[in-house]
Structures are given as structure tokens and as C-alpha cells.
Amino acid sequence: MKDVIIAFDKFLSQKKLYFEAILIGGAVLNILDISSRKTKDVDCLDPEVPPEIKMASEEFAETREYLGLNRDWLNNGPQTLKTDLPTGWRNRIQNLYKGKALILHTLCREDFIKSKLYAYCDRTTPDFEDLKDLKPTKKELTDSIDWVKQRDAHTGWPSHVEKAFNVLMKALGYE
């Protein structure tokens, strides 16, 4: 995904377009060389992808079929998570990539792990593998469980979260 970001930066620069965003998800792990899991999209948490950037990203995908990108590869799929993240998350964002036309940030490690843990409890895959690649410490996991338990009002959610955390702790060798 890092190669895609570099090429897209060049593409935007040639079009005299500029985009700055906060990303989450598997693409971030690829860009940081934490995971080699293939992902076909880039999850933009904030801001909403402007129409001119959206059009450029679609053209980029269509003219570079060899990259295997979906037309909607740059998307705001996780945008609703903004209201659910821990208080002050915007003050803790980290730099991810700085090019000529593209500046990308991501959540700090603590907030990123929490977002991945929430996703893992919600849908299991591919987040389980991402979390194994992230190698959260036992403390990072125990510091996150209460936050994740509060993300869903379903009565069975807290026990589901505990079971999921136990599976992950075991996979990471903490139990």
C-alpha cells in the first residue's frame, strides 16, 4: 500500500490537487510496515474525501488496473468512528506520510489499538491478524477492554468482548 500512496501522491501533484487526512485500518499497518496483509482500500477517518479527490482516486484506480484497487479504494467507511474514539484523539494523531500533494496522519498507537480491538470484537477478521501484527502489550490490552465494552449497548456485548480479548491474549502468549 505504501507504493500506492507514493504513486497517488505523484498523481495528485500532477493534477495540482492537495489532500490531508487521518487514516485508520489495515492500510496504515501496511504503510508503517507492521503488516503485509493485502488490503484494497484506504480508510479515511477525517475529513470526508472531497469530490475532486474522490474523482481523482477513481481515475487513479481505473488507469492503474495492475494495482488491483477497487474504484472506491479511498473511502470514508469508518467515518462514524470519529464520535466513538477516546476523548482528545485528535490531539494525539501521528504523522504517517508526507508527500508533495498528500499528507497523511493516523491515530496514536493507544487509540489505533483501541479502534482495532473494537473492530476485532465487532467482526473478528481481518482485525485479529492485524492485532497480532501490532503486538499490543498486555497492559495495552487491559487498558483498552473497558473502553471496548462501552462501545455497544447490546446486553451480551461485554461478555463477548471478554471472550474475544481472552482469545487474543492467548494468541499473543499472555495466558
Residue range 143-157, pLDDT digits in tens: 999 999 999 889 999
**Cell numbers standing for residue 35:** 503488516
Q: How many angstroms separate the CA atoms of 142 and 160, rounded?
A: 15
- Write the CB contacts of 121 (distance below 8 Å, at least 6 apart in sequence): 148, 151, 157, 160, 161, 164, 165
- C-alpha grid cell, residue 24: 485508520
Mean pLDDT of the chain: 94
Q: How many CB atoms lie within 10 A of CB 44?
A: 25
- Estimate to the nearest angstrom the gap between the alpha carbon of 67 and the chain centroid: 20
Q: What is the pLDDT of residues 49-85, one digit of tens each?
A: 999 999 999 999 999 999 999 999 999 988 889 999 9
- Global pTM? 0.92
Helices 109-123 + 127-134 axis angle, to 10: 150
Q: List the domain boundaries for the chain.
A: 2-107, 110-171
